[in-house]
């Protein structure tokens, strides 16, 4: 859903935008796009993955963090207007997260990309998650991008190679293979059922 504005806004205005509600927005080509709440399963899946990533990070003693819907990533969309995406889950180095604590939680184009991002598909985001964000995250050199699709019952792990993603699709009882978390073991159905 696009919010009617009299003009497109710049990233600086986006970072300070407040309409007095708790509504979250992505900035797409200078326009505020309201993020839908998604179904309950959307939140369950995001929370499940975020918790599993945090547990694995702690188990391995990595200097990383996993955050759900707290970090925006500036996108190089190729228009004269700016874009900022808010993935459902972001994994990034602890040092980078600490750098965001005293400013708006946006990773700008001039900073290193996160290690892994996850988008959980909902009916209103199918095209954006599979096409727009797929391209944008590849251009940003994000090494690993997961598309968790409870509609088509699959998890697509996109692995960056030579500037483009190679997609590996996991369904049913197939164990998901992640270069970022090679020892983490769960199946596509476990992710889609949020571990229940």
Q: Show me where the domains of the chain are located.
A: 39-192
Residue 43: band (very low, low, confident or very high) from pLDDT cuts 50, 70, 90: confident
Token pair listed for 135: 């391209």
- Averaged pLDDT for residues 88-117: 93
pLDDT at site 4: 47
pLDDT at 5 over 70: no
Rounded CA separation 84/156 (Å): 22
- Averaged pLDDT for residues 158-175: 96
pLDDT at site 80: 64
Task: Count Cα atoms within 13 angstroms, Cβ side, for 9.
Answer: 20
Closest CA to 114 of 76, 156, 64, 158: 64
Residue 157: band (very low, low, confident or very high) from pLDDT cuts 50, 70, 90: very high
Q: Annotate 11-46 with b (16+ C-beta within 10 A) or e (fewer).
A: beebeeeeeeeeeebbbbebbbbebeebeeebbbbb
Q: Taking a C-beta distance cutoff of 8 angstroms, is the pair 156, 165 a contact?
A: no
Q: Taking a C-beta distance cutoff of 8 angstroms, is the pair 163, 138 a contact?
A: yes
pLDDT at 22 over 60: yes
Choice among 33-37, 81-85, 163-167 with the minimum mean pLDDT: 33-37
Beta bridge partners of 46: none
Rounded CA separation 116/137 (Å): 10
| Domain 39-192 of CATH type 3.90.1570.10 | yes
Rounded CA separation 48/142 (Å): 21
Neighbours of 196 (CB within 10 A): 6
């Amino acid at each position: 859903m696009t919010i009617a504005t009299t003009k497109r806004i710049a990233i600086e205005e986006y970072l300070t935008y407040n309409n007095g509600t708790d509504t979250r927005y992505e900035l797409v080509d200078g326009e505020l796009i309201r993020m839908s709440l998604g179904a309950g399963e959307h939140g369950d899946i995001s929370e499940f993955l975020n918790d599993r990533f945090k547990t694995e990070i702690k188990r391995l003693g990595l200097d990383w963090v996993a955050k759900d819907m707290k970090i925006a990533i500036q996108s190089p969309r190729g228009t004269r207007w700016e874009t900022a995406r808010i993935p459902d889950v972001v994994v990034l180095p602890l040092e980078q997260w600490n750098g965001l604590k005293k400013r708006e939680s946006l990773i700008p184009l001039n900073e290193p990309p996160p290690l892994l991002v996850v988008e959980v598909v909902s009916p209103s985001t199918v095209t954006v998650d599979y096409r727009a964000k797929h391209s944008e995250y590849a251009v940003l050199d994000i090494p690993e991008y997961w598309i968790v699709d409870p509609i088509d019952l699959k998890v697509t792990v996109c692995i960056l190679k030579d500037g483009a993603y190679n997609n590996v699709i996991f369904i049913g009882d197939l164990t998901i293979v992640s270069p970022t978390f090679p020892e983490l073991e769960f199946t596509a159905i476990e992710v889609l059922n949020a571990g229940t």
